[in-house]
Amino acid sequence: MTERNRLEAGGRIDRSHPLEFRFDGRSLTGYRGDTLASALLANGVHLVGRSFKYHRPRGVLGIGAEEPNALVQVARGAQTEPNVRATQLMLYEGLEASSQNRWPSLAVDLGGLADLASSWMPAGFYYKTFMWPARLWPFYERAIRRMAGLGRAPAAADPDDYDHMHAHCDVLVVGAGAAGLAAALAAARCGARVILADDQSEAGGQLLGERYEIGGRSALAWVSGAMAELRAMSEVRVLQRTTITGHYDHGYLIGCQVFREPGQPDPVGVPRQRLWKIRARRTVIAAGSIERPLVFPDNDRPGIMLAFAARAYCNRYGVRSGSRVVVVTACDDAYRTALDLAAAGVGIAAVVDLRPSGSGHLPRQVRARGIEVLIGQRIVGVRGRARVEALRTQSSAGGAIREIACDLVAMSAGWIPSVHLFSQARGELQFDERLGVFVPLGRLENVVCVGAARGTASLRGALQDGFFAGQVAAQACGLAGREEAQDIATVEPEEAPLDWRGIFGAASLGGRQFVDFQNDVTVDDVRLAVREGYDAPEHLKRYTTAGMGVDQGRTGNINVLALLAEARAEAMTTIAPTTFRPPYQALSFGAIAGALVGPLHAPTRKTPMHDWHAGRGAVFENVGQWKRPRHYPSAGETLQAAVDRECLAVRRGVAIADVSTLGNIDVQGPDAEAFIDRIYCTRMSALGIGRCRYGLMLRQDGMIFDDGIAARLGEQHYLVSTTTAGAASVFAWMEEWLQTEWPDLRVYCTSVTEHYAQIALSGPRSLELLGPLVDIELDAMPFMSMREARVAGVPARVFRLSYTGGPGFEIAVPAGRAYELWTTLFGAGERFGIIAYGTEAMHVLRAERGFIMVGHETDGSVTPGDLGFEGRLAMDKPFIGKRSLRRADLLRLDRKRLVGLLTQAPDCVLPEGAQLLDEPIDSPQSAAPVAMIGHVTSSYFSAHCARSIALGLVRGGQARLGDTLYAWVDGRAIEVTVTAPRFLDAAGKYAYG
């Protein structure tokens, strides 16, 4: 044995498995079953960190989730993790941890100078200064930021895996201590589906640190029996190392299960952490309690520890945290620490009781062991800086100060129920005068606290609580309760009550008395805040930052509130505690994100021809979730060169494009015609069977929200196409109208976007190419029509239409046959010089023709009239959004309307989004605000027109034809001429050449 403070025997560590680890570069040893904290203490290391504000040296205070001080940085590189509680970190071979928030070292921290200046840095000092001169604030702030923060974030992406698990149960029991085990047993014996979640590595809760008996045998033997019984039941799931951390509405709880510590090797491929999403019909909260610290000058020195922690390190880990111990207490429970440590051979210097008497059973036992008990004391201070060396105490009546040499102070001011999950679920709390803490006010419909979590002090009470709550929960789920005598006999002496009012040192004592260890909030800070009017709990918390640290004030909040009541000279019952919000314990972003990172962050949708595109070197762009080929560059070709080539192929020969991503909705039913008419602002009912028409869809407020082609497939059958991004929303919108407003219409909509793939063949030679491959007369097809046909043997719908404004066809085929048809068409097209074209060329081609594109020419504030569609509105029929078009602002003559824009220089391509001005300006700084009369919505170089073209929305629209405007681009005004919003004439030639 190398650890000097490890006891010869005892504890639940596995002494056959020694482990090596490093702390701040020092090589140390511990055992399997140790936490980092217990292993450090076994090695005599108390100083483990520096506090947030004053950089004061700090040691281990607690033993679990409550720990405010012992936060360490664990592991290196991409797996490094800041702010890990040493009290919860399970030791593993090779673990590397280091202290935080200190420079250059833990022992010598220059940040500690802040401690000397602390009288200038009371609560909220930064609100009162650093205001002048203003230009220096960034420098002050930089210094503040460097001093603040705790550990460091990793610099590289996290290489570990995380996953999620959904679970449902009748009864969720949170905590596998005495009450939780009893509740789980009772519920499970009734046949309930039970999840028992516990944050520790083994069941037992606080019993793991005690030397209790249940039913005449050791409590831990009872725990083993209970666990064996639970594990044998098929409807029970036990989750160790799983902290239930969030309690949301309708019985939804979030837990996090830890499989590996930071940096711990993963031999078997388990995730590092798993997020549990549990829907529970009933929840029993048996989360235990946290010991309450005492408040006295310099109560934050390393070596001052919670009394339970001190005995639990001994009982559970075989560690003596000191060799000469003073127990300071305001309750009987802490006497157990003296008894347990003494039994382990640790020297007890004294028990210092703040209460006027100490005559209960436990004090008698302590005295019987020859340990001195001082009563009616108050703590004046301590000696020692990096480690406590002595406790200074005097009678509360005054008198001589006695200094008791020691290297460990174990303190207790009673216990704080862990009501967090109850409060998160909207459970109300009330102050319990006897316990001096807030306890649940009754129960919620589906949620109850049991055991120490509701302030039950005795083990017997906790067991009774648990058994009862487990049965009630199971019964509430419709399961019959089993009457069964429970052997819960315990040996527990009567305890004298806590004196929580006496736990605060007098203001006159001097020295700083800490109430929030992590955020360095002192008694003086609280009193100052109250003096300044921040005298409500929530204001106080925010002003002093008490309770806002990583430990969320688990140990400190109650003392802050008690001080507040004292400062306001009011009863604690008038104080409403601040609301607990999730998470109870900090939850890693990795666990929350689970597997949905990197390529899985969002679904990727690919068309059937995707691999072909990729094989041809297509550059893809994201359009919603879809991957669409933007262009197909040849080797070394620029985007513009590729787009020029693709556009010219469409205008001069033939080219092929994948338009499968456009939404397709099949609309059928006796009332399909009436329905189609209502959803488009243009008339659709006039369509003959086999004919197609372009239409706009409006929101109820008259603004355009999507567009596309509707084809009439039959008397009662239409096919509605949408934009790629609009597919889902248009479908949902149609369903909404049908179900909620027009239930009388017999119409059935089906999204068929993925059923079909669609191929566009564009260009003057498309007819030549396609003609021989189809079994219909293409020549006979009028423009904007559709025929069912077989194309190269594949059943298809052939549309004679194009989004490019030239000759062309679109062919829709079952998705499974699309790749085959695509390659057939491409093969057949090779003698015509066919190439594929992407979305960028599509944009250019449609802009040449003046076709609008939703998202370019529309932004949610554009009406059909704005785009020159007023003539095509069918105002003699009802349609969605119709009434809105008559509103005053939508009739304004100076609305921004669609125009074409040509620059002087043919090769000058305006950036999309550029603003348009009436007059050129030199700089906006001098002229601001400059009146903007419109903006560029689409802009390209058109190889076909041999110049740049642009569309824009301009106030007054085509009333300004021929006017010169100025596009403001990167601080420069570029002259543009307003044209009609189309650049090709009827023959398809550039119109302004």
Partner 1 sequence: MFDRYSIFSLARNALSSHQNWPRAWRNPAPRRRYAAIIVGGGGHGLATAYYLAREYGIRDVAVLERGLIGLGNSGRNTTIVRSNYLWDASAQLYEHSLKIWERLSREINYNVMFSQRGVLNLAHDAHGLRELRRRVEANRLNGIDSEILSTAQVQRQVPALNCAPDARYPILGASFQRRGGVARHDALVWGLARAVDALGIDIIQHCEVTAIRQAGGRIIGVDTSRGPIDARTVGVAVAGHSSVLAHMAGFRLPLQSHPLQAFVSEPIKPVLDTVVMSNTVHVYVSQSDKGELVVGAGMDGYKSYSQRGSFPIVEATVNALVELFPSFRRLKMLRQWAGIVDVAPDASPIISRTPVGGLYFNCGWGTGGFKATPGSGHVFAHLLATGEPHPLGEPFTLDRFVTGALVDEHGAAAVAH
Partner 2 sequence: MLLIPCPWCGPRDETEFTCGGEAHIVTPRAPEDLDDEAWGEFLYLRTNPKGRCAERWVHTHGCRRWFNVLRDTVTERILTVYEVGARPPQAGDD
- Residue 602 touches which of partner 2, partner 1, none (Cβ within 5-8 Å per kind): partner 1
- Interacting stretch for partner 1, rule CB under 8 A, among 618-626, 649-657, 781-789, 980-988? 618-626
Is residue 252 within the footprint of partner 2 (CB under 8 A)? yes
Is residue 593 within the footprint of partner 1 (CB under 8 A)? yes
Within 10 A of 524 (CB to CB), how many other CB atoms are there?
Answer: 16
Residue from 248, 484, 622, 775 binding partner 2 (CB under 8 A): 248
Query: Quick one: 720 or 796, whose CB is closer to partner 2?
Result: 720
CA dist 39 and 2 (Å) reads 11
Residue from 66, 158, 300, 866 binding partner 1 (CB under 8 A): 158
- Residue 139 touches which of partner 1, partner 2, none (Cβ within 5-8 Å per kind): none
Handedness of CA 355, 358, 360, 364 (dihedral sign): positive
Q: In what order do the strands lie in the sheet with 663-668?
A: 692-698, 704-714, 717-722, 663-668, 748-751
Cβ-based neighbours of 925, under 8 Å, separated by 6 or more: none
Give the chain's radius of gyration (CA, Å).
38
Closest distance of CB 456 from partner 2, Å: 28
What DSSP designation does 505 have?
P
Tokens linked to 846? 């449609």
Closest distance of CB 703 from partner 1, Å: 7
What DSSP designation does 372 have?
-
Helix (H) or strand (E) holding 954: strand 947-955
For residues 705-744, which are near partner 2 according to CB under 8 A? Answer: 732, 735-736, 739-741, 743
- Residue 155 touches which of partner 2, partner 1, none (Cβ within 5-8 Å per kind): partner 1
Query: Quick one: 120 or 483, whose CB is closer to partner 1?
Result: 120
For residues 263-292, which are near partner 2 according to CB under 8 A? Answer: 277, 279
Establish how many alpha carbons lie within 13 A of residue 379's alpha carbon, considering only the half-sphere containing its beta carbon.
34
- Interacting stretch for partner 1, rule CB under 8 A, among 147-155, 184-192, 356-364, 769-777? 147-155
Is residue 587 within the footprint of partner 1 (CB under 8 A)? yes
Is residue 952 within the footprint of partner 1 (CB under 8 A)? no
Closest distance of CB 683 from partner 2, Å: 17
With contact defined as beta carbons under 8 Å apart, do 737 and 678 qualify? yes
Tell how far CA 186 is from the center of its chain. 35
Is residue 724 within the footprint of partner 1 (CB under 8 A)? yes
Is residue 531 within the footprint of partner 1 (CB under 8 A)? yes
Residue from 233, 343, 375, 592 binding partner 1 (CB under 8 A): 592
How many residues make contact with partner 2 (CB under 8 A)?
23
Closest distance of CB 826 from partner 2, Å: 37
Residue 969 Rama label (left phi>0; alpha psi -120 to 50; beta): beta
CA dist 606 and 25 (Å) reads 51
Query: Quick one: 85 or 693, whose CB is closer to partner 1?
Result: 85
Residue with tokens 């560029």: 936
Is residue 154 within the footprint of partner 1 (CB under 8 A)? yes
For residues 251-280, which are near partner 1 according to CB under 8 A? Answer: 252, 254, 262, 277
Closest distance of CB 472 from partner 1, Å: 27
Query: Quick one: 539 or 882, whose CB is closer to partner 2?
Result: 882
Is residue 428 within the footprint of partner 2 (CB under 8 A)? no
Tokens linked to 446? 């589906």
Within 10 A of 119 (CB to CB), how many other CB atoms are there?
Answer: 9
CA dist 296 and 388 (Å) reads 13
- Interacting stretch for partner 1, rule CB under 8 A, among 232-240, 290-298, 498-506, 585-593? 585-593
CA dist 667 and 712 (Å) reads 9
CA dist 589 and 369 (Å) reads 51
Binding mask 379-418 for partner 1 (x = CB under 8 A): ----------------------------------------
- Interacting stretch for partner 2, rule CB under 8 A, among 6-14, 242-250, 473-481, 713-721? 242-250
Residue from 251, 255, 288, 868 binding partner 2 (CB under 8 A): 251
Query: Quick one: 628 or 765, whose CB is closer to partner 1?
Result: 628
Is residue 954 within the footprint of partner 1 (CB under 8 A)? no
For residues 887-926, which are near partner 1 according to CB under 8 A? Answer: 887-890, 911-915, 917, 924-925
Closest distance of CB 679 from partner 2, Å: 14
Cβ-based neighbours of 509, under 8 Å, separated by 6 or more: 296, 297, 380, 381
- Residue 596 touches which of partner 2, partner 1, none (Cβ within 5-8 Å per kind): partner 1
Residue from 116, 120, 232, 635 binding partner 1 (CB under 8 A): 120
Closest distance of CB 581 from partner 2, Å: 15
Tokens linked to 567? 């400062």
φ/ψ of residue 352, rounded to 5:
-105, 110
With contact defined as beta carbons under 8 Å apart, do 556 and 566 qualify? no
Tokens linked to 552? 């969320």
Closest distance of CB 887 from partner 2, Å: 5
- Interacting stretch for partner 1, rule CB under 8 A, among 219-227, 248-256, 335-343, 708-716? 248-256
What are the Cα distances from residue 704, in Å, to 680, 727, 885, 890, 931?
10, 15, 11, 12, 25
- Interacting stretch for partner 2, rule CB under 8 A, among 23-31, 660-668, 680-688, 883-891? 883-891
With contact defined as beta carbons under 8 Å apart, do 470 and 484 qualify? no
φ/ψ of residue 577, rounded to 5:
-65, 155
Residue from 26, 482, 581, 887 binding partner 2 (CB under 8 A): 887
Instruction: Give the burial class of 165: count Cβ atoms within 10 A of its Cβ; 0-12 exposed, 13-18 middle, 19 or more buried.
Output: middle
Tokens linked to 855? 């998202």
Closest distance of CB 954 from partner 2, Å: 26
Helix (H) or strand (E) holding 814: strand 808-814
- Interacting stretch for partner 2, rule CB under 8 A, among 382-390, 543-551, 708-716, 880-888? 880-888
Helix (H) or strand (E) holding 277: strand 273-285
For residues 702-721, which are near partner 1 according to CB under 8 A? Answer: 702-703
Question: Measuring CA to CA, which residue among 456, 476, 455 is closest to residue 283?
Answer: 476
CA dist 411 and 417 (Å) reads 17
Binding mask 822-861 for partner 1 (x = CB under 8 A): -------------------------------xxxx-xxxx
For residues 731-750, which are near partner 1 according to CB under 8 A? Answer: none
Query: Letter for the amino acid at 288?
Result: G
Is residue 250 within the footprint of partner 2 (CB under 8 A)? yes
With contact defined as beta carbons under 8 Å apart, do 520 and 58 qualify? no
Is residue 613 within the footprint of partner 1 (CB under 8 A)? no
- Residue 972 touches which of partner 1, partner 2, none (Cβ within 5-8 Å per kind): none
For residues 667-706, which are near partner 2 according to CB under 8 A? Answer: 700-701
Closest distance of CB 700 from partner 2, Å: 6
How many residues make contact with partner 1 (CB under 8 A)?
117
Beta-bridged to residue 408, according to DSSP, are 325
Query: Quick one: 125 or 748, whose CB is closer to partner 2?
Result: 748
Query: Letter for the amino acid at 343?
Result: A
What is the four-CA torsion angle of 629, 630, 633, 637, rounded to 10 degrees?
-160
What are the Cα distances from residue 990, in Å, to 292, 388, 849, 942, 985?
84, 90, 10, 10, 6
CA dist 209 and 220 (Å) reads 10
For residues 955-984, which are near partner 1 according to CB under 8 A? Answer: 968-969, 971
Which residues in this chain contact partner 2 in the complex, by CB under 8 A? 248-252, 277, 279, 426, 700-701, 732, 735-736, 739-741, 743, 882-884, 886-888
